[in-house]
Amino acid sequence: MRILGFGKDMAFYSLLEQQADAAVATAKEFHTLAGDMTRCDEHVARIEQIERDADNLTHELMNKIDATFVTPLDKEDLRALSSGLDDITDAIEAGTQRIAIYRLTEARDDLAPLLARLVDITVATREIVGQLRDMQNRGAMSPRLIRVHDIENESDKLYRKALTDLFNAPNPDPLNVIKWKEIYDRVEIAVDKCESVADIVESVVVKYA
């Protein structure tokens, strides 16, 4: 529920921003892991902790939504944004877990470029979430939204190329193909979740403009 002129509790925005920060932190840690596979367990442990903290933020925000009569955004929008941001972190954590489970010790060359785009899109997502505090400034929001969609398109191309190279390598190891496809898929899911959050933000901006 939202009533124009009321519901100015900034804690809602702070919690969303902290969730977006968690997505950025996991993406950066994953990118670091790709260049430091010998310390995989350490990086995965850090990502697990960030993911647990992010889950706590999600629960805190959901409880706050339920306990607050008038919220700064419609409750369904807050829930959708919170769930979407949590999904980003979850997808990234799932990708790193697979590296640990499969005991992979060397990254493929196409992983780092994919993860670089993942970092870029989580950072861009954090920027648009931060702009929710000032939705009247639509001029500042628009280029950031476009940036998220542009990065998603770039990532899609890298993802397709990574799969093409993976499946068409000479004498591929079928088990290795399965392992790496699962990892690439989780990165792609995380990128798509960022775009989904951007779509929600865009609809919120239009609604409250």
Percent helix, percent strand, percent coil in the chain, to nearest 5: 80, 0, 20
Domain ranges of the chain: 11-208
The domain made up of 11-208 is a member of CATH 3.40.630.30: no
Mean pLDDT by 10 residues, the chain (209 residues): 52 96 98 95 96 96 92 93 97 97 94 98 96 78 92 98 95 94 98 97 85
What amino acid occupies position 117? R
Q: How much is the pLDDT for 134? A: 79
pTM for the predicted model, two decimal places: 0.93
